[in-house]
Amino acid sequence: MASHIVGYPRMGPKRELKFALESFWDGKSSAEDLEKVATDLRASIWKQMSEAGIKYIPSNTFSYYDQVLDTTAMLGAVPERYSWAGGEIGLSTYFSMARGNATVPAMEMTKWFDTNYHFIVPELGPTIKFTYASHKAVSEYKEAKACLLDQSHTCCFLNLPRVWTNRSLSFHFLGSILPIYKEVVAELKAAGASWIQFDEPTLVKDLDAHELAAFTSAYAELESSFSGLNVLIETYFADIPAENYKTLTSLSGVTAYGFDLVRGAKTIDLVRSSFPSGKYLFAGVVDGRNIWADDLAASLSTLESLEAVVCKDKLVVSTSCSLMHTAVDLVNETKLDDEIKSWLAFAAQKVVEVNALAKALAGQKDEAYFAANVAAQASRRSSPRVTNEEVQKAAAALRGSDHRRATNVSARLDAQQKKLNLPVLPTTTIGSFPQTMDLRRVRREYKAKKISEEEYTNAIKEEISKVVKIQEELDIDVLVHGEPERNDMVEYFGEQLSGFAFTANGWVQSYGSRCVKPPIIYGDVSRPNPMTVYWSKTAQSMTSRPMKGMLTGPVTILNWSFVRNDQPRFETCYQIALAIKKEVEDLEAGGIQVIQIDEAALREGLPLRKSEHAFYLDWAVHSFRITNCGVQDTTQIHTHMCYSNFNDIIHSIIDMDADVITIENSRSDEKLLSVFREGVKYGAGIGPGVYDIHSPRIPSTEEIADRINKMLAVLDTNILWVNPDCGLKTRKYTEVKPALTNMVSATKLIRTQL
């Protein structure tokens, strides 16, 4: 019985790669220094897997920036603007594509399936030429082989991230790409590889017949180069559609199939009903997307049941997907208590779990290890820290019923306007103001108890008063307090809610050297005390203009956390919604008339399969409405979203029933506005961002005025708001002040023309 790991985090247990990369980019260290850190990290990962007893150890899961960019480099698909001279692609061209350089901007980045990992999107234009231009896959394979030579393990393999990243790597180019893949395969074979893994997560998406045919013909084309090799095709992140499963398992040159059996309840039925004889099944039972210890007894019985369809020596225990989507090593967690730690497994622990399962299947069950796991599972089920009866009841009561404000949005807007008395085209910002070094230091010192509560409070108050004054001077209509007390829009709330735990080193790569540290939701969520009321009231007391209360919405908190797996996601979301509802009501009672509930991550929670969209959107939107269904008509509820491509979910957005929505728009007016041009009726307030806050560039008054005019061509004057794209926390005051000055002047100019 064998074990296999799909892929492993490359940042290192203490983000060693991040620091090495950033130091190299800053010119503080050499390429050799960077390469040394990378080599050491790879070696330690291979050794760790080997020591754990993993049979199929992956190579080429490392990357200096992104595995898709590595594939782009392998194919020599360097866009012209990087003036690549040919030959083997070096670090300088590679990082220019990833991050841009002094003269040329970076390539575009987008989310990897439904994860929080971002990849660099290949640019395949009509003039693109492919050549084999990065031998990384082969050199990494050789490196792994050398590293593991003195071990008893024989099989290493290559992780050639899929031919199809998404539709953008269009089928049109397959003919030119395949010869390069053949070359790589041949070289790997010559280097001694006996297994090659192809990652094809695209296969879990809804593909049409044309796409499936292209898939079949691509692998048919590669088949000749597969002789003498074992080829594994890995799929993950969701159930594989039946048609795709049929296509995949009909490939003749392939030896093995890997499936995500954690998010694949239906996939396992497909496997049970028919699995090609003589092929290997890589059963992804250990979850690569969360931080929970596996329920080993349950996984073992799943695996045993599969022995009825796959012969014993062809059943391989694996992870559901690459472990790069989970944290690295629990060993470095000093803040978590032992009870919570016993419930968790990060990548390093998951490697051990996979191997323990394989051994158990082979009749060598480590009884003590399994018994400890049973005890941990039981403690998690029965711990009073997990269960809060009251919360359970309140959340259960929400199911099946609908919650929305009693009055319709246009009547509400009238009632609000009587109270707020805002000018036409009201101006506002999204929440945060620049986070200066001083500010970060104050928060850090307070956390480390180096300054007193009083000193901290005074420093934050001073910052708020500065931000309020700036906004008054700029003549902005609806103000924000600037969020100086928050390090992160989810962490800030999670730290004050019950049922959340925080790690010290639970980092997950988001893009390049950037990592996030998602909170862990382990128990029923409740809000013991108000979280933002003090600061919002303080801010409101400093001005006679309306001050927005600023909250993060339940769906965003859920989507940016590691969520418990012992109840459905919607259940947890409803609990968070109830906690935020209490906050909303306390803000209202505290005299806050405008409350913004950010749902920055609502769209990214969309399931991969279209058939599951409606269910998700239904509970996600319902959760948002629960937070504010109880407020008076005169309380204005805003929401904010960080994307403009919501053409497909516009009806859900309308169904959120917010009074005002501010959204990202600046990178494309057309996309967003086309929704309204096509006749979607939108009656609530809407503020499509008038300039891009992701860039230091300061937009001119004319440019902003021009954008506002474009919006007025499709939207009613009385619903349009004027605001930037997103929060200003990553910008400098020297950028923010002139940009907002121009935003207000543009608005005033247009007001005179109405």
- Tell me which residues touch Zn ion (CB under 5 A): 600, 642, 726
**59, 157 contact by CB (below 8 A):** yes
Tokens of 539: 């801010």
A 10 A CB-CB count for 649 gives: 17
Region from 173-181, 351-359, 430-438, 451-459 binding ligand GLN, contact rule CB under 6 A = 430-438
Residue 489 lies near ligand GLN (rule: CB under 6 A)? yes
Partner from Zn ion, ligand GLN, none binding residue 69, C-beta < 5-8 Å depending on class: none
Contact 242, 273 (CB under 8 A): no
Q: Which residues of 239-271 are buried (b: 16+ CB within 10 A; e: fewer)?
A: bbbeebbebbbebeebbbbbbbbbbbeebbebb
| Spacing of C-alpha 217 from chain mean position | 33
Q: Angle formed by the axes of helices 367-382 and 347-361, to 10°?
A: 120
Q: Which one of the spans 311-319, 425-433, 498-506, 743-751 is the region binding ligand GLN (CB under 6 A)?
A: 425-433
Give least dist CB 601 to ligand GLN, A: 8
Q: For ligand GLN, which is the closer residue by CB, 604 or 706?
A: 604
Distance in Å, CB of 714 to ligand GLN, minimum:
24
As to burial, measured by CB atoms within 10 angstroms (0-12 exposed, 13-18 middle, 19+ buried), residue 279 is middle
Task: Answer yes or no whether residue 158 interacts with ligand GLN by CB under 6 A.
Answer: no
Q: Specify whether 694 is catalytic.
A: yes
Interaction between residue 430 and ligand GLN (CB under 6 A): yes
State the minimum distance, in angstroms, from the CB of residue 686 to Zn ion.
15
Q: Interface with ligand GLN by CB under 6 A: which range of 21-29, 102-110, 304-312, 428-436?
A: 428-436
Kindly tell me the number of DSSP H helices and DSSP E strands found in the chain: 26, 19
Taking alpha carbons only, the member of 655, 653, 678, 674 closest to residue 665 is: 674
Smallest gap from residue 173 Cβ to ligand GLN (A) = 35
Which tokens sit at 4?
């296999």
Task: Give the residue with the Cβ less far from Zn ion, 218 or 597.
Answer: 597
- Provide the β-strand partners of residue 230: 195
Closest C-alpha among 17, 119, 104 to residue 70: 119
According to the binding rule CB under 6 A, does residue 598 interact with ligand GLN? yes
Residue closer to ligand GLN (CB basis): 482 or 512: 482
CB of 113 to Zn ion, least distance (A): 21
- From the centroid of its chain, how far is CA 433? 24
Minimum distance between the CB of residue 728 and Zn ion, rounded to whole angstroms? Answer: 10
Q: Which of 142, 380, 548, 640 binds ligand GLN (CB under 6 A)?
A: 640
Q: Measure Cα distances from 567 to 83, 115, 233, 339, 468 in Å.
A: 52, 20, 31, 20, 43
From candidates 78, 550, 580, 690, binder to ligand GLN by CB under 6 A:
550
Helices (H), 448-511: 453-474, 491-494
Closest to ligand GLN by CB, 467 or 573? 467
- Tell me the three state secondary structure of residue 88: coil
Nearest residue (CB) to Zn ion, 120 versus 642: 642
Contact 360, 58 (CB under 8 A): no
560 is in an annotated binding site: yes
727 lies in the site for ligand GLN, by CB under 6 A: yes
Which one of 76, 161, 431, 687 is in contact with ligand GLN (CB under 6 A)?
431
Query: Binding-site residues, please?
Result: 18, 116, 430-432, 483, 514-515, 560, 598, 640, 642, 651, 655, 664, 726
Q: Which residues bind ligand GLN (CB under 6 A)?
A: 430-432, 483, 489, 550, 598, 600, 640, 642, 726-727, 729
Query: Binding-site residues for L-homocysteine, please?
Result: 430-432, 598
Active site residues: 694
